[in-house]
Amino acid sequence: MPQVFKTALTELTGCTHPVMCGGMHYVGFAELVAAVANAGGFACITALTQETPEDLRKEIRKCRTLTDKPIGVNITLLPVMRNPDYEGYIKVCIEEGIKCVETAGSNPDKYVKLLKDGGVKVIHKCTAIRHAEKAIRCGVDMLSMDGFECGGHPGSDDVTNWVLIPKACKKLKIPIIVSGACATGSQLAAALAFGAHGINMGTRFIAVKESPVLPQIKDAIVAADERDTALVMRSVNNTERVFKNKTTDELLEKEHAFPGDFEQIREYVAGINYRKSFYETGDPTSSVWSCGQSLGLIDSVPSCQELIDTIVQEACESMANAQRARL
């Protein structure tokens, strides 16, 4: 399919289409990242999935045996149960020639400086205008604005993309892409209409053929709808949108009984639990795992190429239909 869009996202990353696959814990491995890149999108290896910076180096090199297209790395700056070697991960990104890194979560100032000094462009994901303004002062090159609909961490303001994105595009002075419940070409068209430069998809890329998770997890995503998520960890100021299941219900009961006490829910939110679901049991109900309300828009498990081709075609059709509606 020929290139039909030229946006700040394609120019910054070198990808063909303004479709991004951001970092996903225990999903953003070399095979998926390479498949997205080969399909014309831009994808990120998840740094914190790799135990050490040297493991990240191996994963980057593995990815480069699978694609000659641009790839990125995600470095998430959120509370985790271990203390990541952020500076080590950044050093590896610079040494391995990664040209664009996605950061997310806490104040990125220190790490943005390290990345920029190493010649790396930075896309920072945030959930609020005020956080975006801070990130701009830190020197990031692009913002990925994450609405309340998103899987993972939507922040505490509960503002959906229908309001967040047009306000961000009007108020902020650097390019923006849309994150949170993105899964279709019509949403890409809407993002461009708002003034954004592309879309960033997470949950949608779990349910593709090249995704490394077991088929039962992908089938659960296809079978679910937009009501099948829940918000957990609100009482400990680390809200996360996850797949709604029996284990999530147990966590919420515990959190209700002991609000603000992380130790009471620690065992539920350990990453090793959903890693086992994703790669050993295939049971979508036995752990707490992130996903967005885009569940309601996902009805198939295509290849990355089929998905991105469809998104681009649908976006073009949506924009043409909007043009025909003009009087």
287 falls within a domain: no
Average pLDDT over residues 223-238: 96
Total number of domains constituting the chain: 1
320 falls within a domain: no
Classify residue 163 by burial, with Cβ atoms within 10 Å: 0-12, 13-18, 19+.
Answer: exposed
Per-residue tokens: 173 = 């002075």
pLDDT value of residue 326: 76
Which pLDDT tens digit goes with each residue over 143-197? 999 999 999 999 999 999 999 999 999 999 999 999 999 999 999 999 999 999 9
66 falls within a domain: yes
Give every CB contact of residue 282 below 8 A, 6+ residues apart in sequence: 214, 215, 216, 217
Per-residue tokens: 146 = 């994450």
Angstrom distances, CA of residue 292 to CA of 12, 146, 158, 183:
26, 11, 14, 10
65 falls within a domain: yes
Q: Which residues pair with 142 in a beta bridge?
A: 123
pLDDT value of residue 80: 67
Give the integer Cα–Cα distance in Å for 59 and 29: 7
Identify the domain containing residue 57 by its residue range.
8-212
Give the integer Cα–Cα distance in Å for 215 and 227: 21
pLDDT value of residue 105: 87
Residue 2 has pLDDT above 80, yes or no: no
Which CATH number is 157's domain given?
Answer: 3.20.20.70
325 falls within a domain: no
Residue 85 has pLDDT above 90, yes or no: yes
Residue 215 has pLDDT above 50, yes or no: yes
311 falls within a domain: no
Per-residue tokens: 79 = 């509370």
37 falls within a domain: yes
Which pLDDT tens digit goes with each residue over 17-59? 999 999 899 999 999 999 999 999 999 999 999 999 999 999 9
Classify residue 238 by burial, with Cβ atoms within 10 Å: 0-12, 13-18, 19+.
Answer: middle
20 falls within a domain: yes
Nearest to 38, CA basis, from 320, 285, 305: 305
Mean pLDDT, all residues of the chain: 95
pLDDT-derived band of residue 1, with 50, 70 and 90 as boundaries?
Answer: very low
pLDDT-derived band of residue 4, with 50, 70 and 90 as boundaries?
Answer: low
Q: Report percent pLDDT > 90 for the chain.
A: 92
Which pLDDT tens digit goes with each residue over 248-259? 999 999 999 999
Classify residue 65 by burial, with Cβ atoms within 10 Å: 0-12, 13-18, 19+.
Answer: exposed
Nearest to 252, CA basis, from 243, 265, 262: 265
pLDDT value of residue 271: 85
